[in-house]
């Protein structure tokens, strides 16, 4: 019903008007019918009476044979109220007198003629004429003879006037009724439609998240007013719940954003719906480039495939996948990494897994530390064994030295045998030296001491003597072995050993290794005096990106052969002595371009400060 109004106010008004119009029309119809019936009855009575009166007057006039009297009687009757016309005819129907018009031209109508035979003495006969006209006829008797008929016609204008008055009354009554009910409806609609409109506006504002309109004004004190109050209460409690939810969400958000582990959420089609900064760091893509992407879009194969299988496994089996270990290499130069991945189902209802959450823990350091620890443990065991062997060898060496001394003094030896004894003594001294160095390496002092360079540098070189010889590396010693330095001897020896070890690893057959030591002031501020050590080789050198990372723990290019801790530990030792270390290197590829030789130079400075070293000793203890 397109024409039917939408608002309650106009619906109530239109409904009421329709109802009123219908009820008033029905009421008018019933009243009119009733009135019509009553008026007709009264008109019949009146006509019967008037016809009777005219008949008796006419009977007298006819008896006296006075046409004038007859005419007067007829004319007066015709002018009586509610009478339209009157006439008197003879028994055959010929008009003798008529109230209006010319009696010679007047004729009875067919209905009137048909009534004449039915007329009897004493009884008036009423008849309906065409066009809603009523007439009454009464026979005129003079003595026992019927001398004529008196005809009286009702003035229907009387009826029309009555109806009009009735209608007018009804119109006034209807108008007042409609006006009063309209006012009532408008009044009622104020207390229903207006608060409902307020409620409607409030609901819309709530949908548009416009909280400024609340609480809604309560303008009426009825059920709708109570409804608005309840609505205000509901909005307030929703606000409280929303604030609580927001708090929880911000808590989760910050946990997700700042957690030191990689976190990601996947939907059922294995697409990323949320990731945190750490996860973005793992994929090396900006945070915004993850949403809606698959794992294959953000990670290389086969890692992406393995992770996808874990997610799918959770979706299919709805059971968490825990501590899946993934490893590989990345970066330039490539470095090993290890991740521990766990995936778990996230349900919104008990039935279905809506998302899959993934936690990625970077276990690279832990893995490398474990490996380094294993290797260090092995080295320590080997060192202890070497020290034990060196110690055990010392005793028979003493015996052999004594025996050779006795043999040298034996008189029966010729020159050749004596030469052999000399050679044996020389080799024995070397064995003894090696065992001493080995023991010195193992037995490190916890207190700093003034140590001659001979002990710091020669001891290292004699340890690497075998490897240096095997590779035919020419060793250049540029230092005074008698010069000394106040330091933790064992630690400085370890630094030199690391640098020499690296130089030998990088060296090719027939290279050169130069070890230099000079007393000088610190290159940095020129204040502290100390010793500057240089370890230079003509090995393969380093590319710039390798040189950048060499002091980082676990950085190595030697795969399983190196732990990547040597230079990191060396730098820590130098810093502990308040010194500094630097490196220069030219890679083989760069050397080919420039037509020079490749190689690496490490320089480190150790201050010769007994007070400083003393502090360090206290710290170390």
Ligand X SMILES: Nc1ncnc2c1ncn2[C@@H]1O[C@H](COP(=O)(O)OP(=O)(O)OP(=O)(O)O)[C@@H](O)[C@H]1O
Candidate residues 78, 148, 490, 566; the one interacting with ligand X per rule CB under 6 A: 566
Nearest distance, CB of residue 402 and Mg ion, angstroms: 41
Residue 458-497 contact track with ligand X, rule CB under 6 A, x = bound: ----------------------------------------
Out of ligand X, Mg ion, none, which partner does residue 556 contact, by CB within 5 to 8 A per kind?
Answer: ligand X
Binding of ligand X by 556 (CB under 6 A): yes
Binding of ligand X by 564 (CB under 6 A): yes
Query: Which 8-state DSSP code applies to residue 123?
Result: B
Out of ligand X, Mg ion, none, which partner does residue 97 contact, by CB within 5 to 8 A per kind?
Answer: none
The stretch among 253-261, 273-281, 456-464, 554-562 that binds ligand X (CB under 6 A) is 554-562
Question: Rg of the chain over CA atoms, in angstroms?
Answer: 66
The stretch among 72-80, 205-213, 345-353, 563-571 that binds ligand X (CB under 6 A) is 563-571
Q: How far is CA 599 from CA 358, 513, 534, 557, in A?
A: 47, 10, 13, 16
Residue 504-523 contact track with ligand X, rule CB under 6 A, x = bound: --x-----------------
**Pair 543, 589: CB distance under 8 Å:** yes
Binding of ligand X by 50 (CB under 6 A): no
Closest to Mg ion by CB, 202 vs 511, is: 511
Reference 86, options 154, 152, 157, 155; nearest CA is 152
Binding of ligand X by 366 (CB under 6 A): no
Nearest distance, CB of residue 558 and Mg ion, angstroms: 8
Out of ligand X, Mg ion, none, which partner does residue 33 contact, by CB within 5 to 8 A per kind?
Answer: none
Identify the bridge partners of residue 600 per DSSP, sorted by sequence position.
Answer: 537, 585
Q: How far is CA 288 from CA 193, 252, 275, 357, 361, in A?
A: 50, 19, 9, 18, 21
* Phi-psi label, residue 591: left if phi above 0, alpha if psi -120 to 50, beta otherwise: alpha
Query: Which 8-state DSSP code applies to residue 217?
Result: P
Nearest distance, CB of residue 258 and ligand X, angstroms: 32
Q: Per 3-state DSSP, what percentage of the chain is helix, strand, and coil (rounded to 5)?
A: 55, 20, 25
Using CB positions, name the residue nearest to Mg ion: 566
By CB under 6 A, the count of residues binding ligand X is 23
Out of ligand X, Mg ion, none, which partner does residue 557 contact, by CB within 5 to 8 A per kind?
Answer: ligand X
**Pair 587, 604: CB distance under 8 Å:** no
Closest to ligand X by CB, 174 vs 539, is: 539
Over the range 33-62, which residues count as b (16 or more CB within 10 Å of their CB) and which as e?
A: eeeeeeeeeebeebbbebbbbbbebbbebb
Out of Mg ion, ligand X, none, which partner does residue 58 contact, by CB within 5 to 8 A per kind?
Answer: none
Out of ligand X, Mg ion, none, which partner does residue 542 contact, by CB within 5 to 8 A per kind?
Answer: ligand X
Out of Mg ion, ligand X, none, which partner does residue 503 contact, by CB within 5 to 8 A per kind?
Answer: ligand X
Reference 348, options 359, 356, 338; nearest CA is 356
What does the alpha-carbon distance between residue 103 and residue 98 come to, in Å, rounded to a whole number?
A: 6
Out of Mg ion, ligand X, none, which partner does residue 450 contact, by CB within 5 to 8 A per kind?
Answer: none
Nearest distance, CB of residue 305 and ligand X, angstroms: 31
Out of ligand X, Mg ion, none, which partner does residue 225 contact, by CB within 5 to 8 A per kind?
Answer: none
Residue 30 burial by CB count (10 A; 0-12/13-18/19+): exposed, middle or buried? exposed
- What does the H/E/C string look like for 442-491? HCCCCCCEEEEHHHHHHHHHHHCHHHHHHCCCEEEEECCCCCEEEECHHH
Report DSSP letters for 159-214, one per residue: HHHHHHHHHHHHHHHHHHHHHHHHHHHHHHHHHHHHHHHHHHHHHHHHHTT-GGG-
Would you tell me which residues interact with Mg ion (CB under 5 A)?
Answer: 502, 566
Residue 522-541 contact track with ligand X, rule CB under 6 A, x = bound: ---------------x-xxx
Closest to ligand X by CB, 157 vs 374, is: 374
Nearest distance, CB of residue 473 and ligand X, angstroms: 12
Binding site for ligand X (CB under 6 A): 498, 502-503, 506, 537, 539-542, 546, 550, 555-558, 562-568, 600
């Amino acid at each position: 019903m397109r024409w039917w109004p939408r608002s309650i106010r106009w619906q109530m008004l239109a409904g009421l008007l329709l109802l009123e119009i219908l009820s008033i029309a029905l009421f008018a119809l019933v009243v009119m019918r009733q009135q019509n019936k009553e008026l007709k009855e009264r008109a019949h009575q009146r006509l019967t009476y008037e016809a009777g009166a005219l008949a008796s007057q006419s009977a007298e006039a006819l008896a006296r044979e006075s046409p004038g009297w007859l005419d007067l009687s007829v004319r007066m009757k015709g002018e009586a109220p509610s009478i339209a016309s009157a006439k008197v005819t003879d028994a055959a129907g010929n008009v003798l007198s008529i109230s209006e018009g010319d009696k010679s031209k007047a004729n009875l109508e067919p209905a009137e003629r048909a009534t004449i035979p039915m007329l009897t003495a004493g009884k008036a006969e009423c008849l309906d004429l065409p066009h809603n006209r009523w007439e009454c006829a009464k026979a005129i008797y003079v003595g026992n003879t019927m001398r004529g008929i008196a005809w009286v016609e009702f003035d229907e204008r009387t009826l029309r006037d009555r109806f009009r008055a009735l209608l007018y009354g009804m119109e006034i009554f209807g108008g007042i009724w409609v006006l009063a009910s309209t006012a009532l409806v408008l009044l009622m609609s104020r207390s229903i439609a207006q608060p409902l409109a307020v409620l409607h506006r409030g609901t819309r504002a709530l949908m548009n998240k416009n909280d400024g309109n609340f609480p809604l004004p309560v303008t009426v004190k009825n059920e709708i007013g109570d409804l608005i109050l309840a609505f205000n209460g509901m909005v307030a409690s929703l606000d409280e719940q929303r604030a609580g939810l927001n708090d929880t969400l911000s808590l989760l958000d910050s946990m997700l954003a700042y957690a030191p582990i990689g976190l990601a959420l996947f939907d059922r089609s294995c697409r990323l719906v949320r990731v945190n900064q750490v996860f973005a760091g793992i994929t090396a893509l900006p945070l915004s480039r993850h949403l809606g992407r698959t794992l294959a879009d953000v990670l290389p194969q086969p890692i992406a495939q393995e992770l996808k299988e874990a997610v799918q496994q959770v979706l299919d089996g709805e059971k968490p996948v825990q501590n899946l270990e993934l490893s590989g290499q990345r970066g330039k130069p490539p470095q090993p990494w290890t991740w521990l991945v766990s995936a778990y189902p996230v349900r919104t209802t008990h039935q279905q897994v809506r998302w899959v959450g993934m936690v990625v823990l970077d276990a690279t350091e832990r893995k490398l530390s474990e490996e380094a620890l294993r290797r260090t443990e092995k080295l320590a065991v080997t060192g202890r064994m070497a020290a034990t062997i060196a110690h055990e060898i010392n005793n028979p060496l003493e015996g052999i030295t004594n025996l050779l001394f006795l043999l040298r003094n034996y008189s029966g030896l010729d020159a050749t045998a004596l030469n052999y004894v000399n050679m044996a003594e020389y080799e024995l001294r070397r064995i003894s030296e090696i065992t001493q160095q080995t023991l010195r390496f193992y037995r490190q002092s916890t207190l700093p001491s003034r140590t001659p360079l001979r002990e710091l540098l020669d001891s290292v070189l004699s340890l690497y003597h075998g490897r240096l010889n095997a590779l035919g590396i020419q060793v250049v010693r540029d230092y005074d072995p008698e010069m000394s330095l106040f330091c933790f001897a064992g630690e400085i020896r370890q630094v030199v050993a690391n640098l020499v070890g690296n130089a030998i690893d990088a060296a090719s057959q027939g290279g050169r290794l130069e070890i230099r030591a000079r007393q000088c002031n610190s290159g940095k501020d020129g204040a502290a005096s100390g010793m500057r050590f240089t370890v230079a080789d003509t090995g393969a050198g380093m590319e710039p990106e390798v040189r950048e990372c060499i002091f980082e723990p676990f950085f190595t290019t030697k795969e399983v052969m190196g732990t990547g801790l040597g230079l990191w530990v060396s730098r820590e030792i130098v810093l502990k002595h308040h010194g500094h270390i630097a490196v220069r290197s030219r890679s083989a590829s760069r050397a080919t371009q420039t037509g020079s030789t490749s190689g690496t130079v490490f320089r480190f400075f150790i201050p010769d400060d007994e007070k400083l070293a003393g502090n360090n000793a206290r710290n170390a203890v």
